[in-house]
């Protein structure tokens, strides 16, 4: 993306889980005492969270590809945790699974996020969330993250009846906020979301926190930065006051 292109951006739209809030770290902290209570030591907690998140991702992608009745994020989360605990050989109850899934609504932001969002807001940029989370989960999780006052709107993919990266989610979000897709910079910590946004006609920025290749030459990110602070600085340097 050229500086001239960035000057045209009027709004920045963010993925929430894993981009604004630290999902891997937060869920690892949440599951650790649970595994200790079960006497489970075969795998480290972070590995089970990786299984959990990967299963959740795969199941949501299947749901999106089928493009039939949209399955709630919470239900897919329940199925993912139930599968993960069964795979690990950990006896569990449905209530325990529901409790672990509820931890998704209690995740802290990455350390650089709040200040960076504030700087973008001061520039006059409109800020939005577009998340795979259910509306009620976002209604709890966004305030918990301490970022509520920074957002112009929080959008759940339930409004498009399909999980990201289906193109209709990004197109619906653009329509809901009343902007052209070329006026929106979509930001995510994972490539699939940037690819979906770019394929749907939005601009995209990849937050490369994990220092991994983007891996898609057909729909490359327009901008790659190491964290949210760098993104704020780039936008500040090229978008006129």
Domain boundary assignment for the chain: 3-22+107-238, 23-105
Tell me the sheet residues that pair with 154. 129
At 66 the pLDDT is 86
Domains 3-22+107-238 and 23-105 share a fold: no
At 2 the pLDDT is 46
Domain 3-22+107-238: which CATH number of 3.40.50.1000, 2.30.40.10, 3.40.50.970, 3.30.230.30: 3.40.50.1000
Whether pTM exceeds 0.75: yes
123: closest CA among 10, 2, 8? 10
What's the number of CA atoms in the CB half-sphere (13 Å) around residue 170?
Answer: 30
At 87 the pLDDT is 97
At 67 the pLDDT is 79
At 239 the pLDDT is 74
Separation between Cα atoms, residue 107 and residue 228, nearest integer Å: 17
Backbone phi, psi, residue 224, to 5°: -125, 125
The topology (CATH level 3) of 23-105 is DNA polymerase; domain 1 (1.10.150)
Mean per-residue pLDDT pooled into runs of 10, the chain (241 residues): 68 98 98 98 98 97 88 97 98 98 98 97 96 98 96 96 93 96 95 95 94 92 95 87 66
Separation between Cα atoms, residue 174 and residue 62, nearest integer Å: 24
Q: How many helices (H) and strands (E) does the chain have?
A: 10, 6
At 240 the pLDDT is 67
Separation between Cα atoms, residue 19 and residue 1, nearest integer Å: 21
Alpha-helix residue ranges (DSSP H) falling in the chain:
3-7, 23-37, 45-66, 73-87, 94-102, 113-122, 135-144, 167-177, 191-199, 228-238
């Amino acid at each position: 993306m050229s500086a001239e292109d960035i000057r045209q951006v009027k709004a920045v739209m963010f993925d929430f889980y894993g981009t604004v809030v630290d999902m891997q770290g937060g869920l690892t902290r949440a599951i650790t005492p649970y595994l200790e209570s079960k006497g489970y030591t075969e795998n480290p907690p972070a590995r089970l969270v990786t299984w959990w998140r990967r299963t959740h991702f795969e199941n949501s992608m299947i749901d999106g590809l089928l493009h039939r009745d949209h399955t709630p994020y919470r239900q897919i989360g329940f199925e993912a945790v139930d599968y993960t605990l069964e795979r690990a050989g950990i006896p569990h109850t449905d209530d325990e699974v529901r409790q672990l899934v509820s931890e998704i609504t209690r995740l802290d932001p990455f350390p650089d996020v709040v200040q960076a969002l504030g700087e973008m807001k001061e520039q006059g940029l409109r800020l939005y969330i577009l998340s795979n989370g259910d509306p009620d989960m976002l209604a709890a999780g966004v305030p918990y993250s301490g970022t509520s006052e920074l957002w112009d709107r929080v959008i759940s993919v339930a409004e498009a009846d399909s999980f990201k990266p289906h193109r209709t989610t990004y197109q619906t979000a653009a329509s809901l906020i009343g902007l052209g897709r070329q006026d929106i910079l979509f930001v995510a910590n994972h490539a699939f979301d940037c690819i979906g946004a770019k394929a749907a006609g939005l601009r995209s920025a990849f937050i490369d926190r994990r220092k991994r290749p983007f891996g898609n030459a057909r729909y490359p990110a327009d901008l790659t930065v190491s964290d949210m602070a760098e993104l704020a600085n780039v936008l500040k340097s090229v978008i006129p006051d």
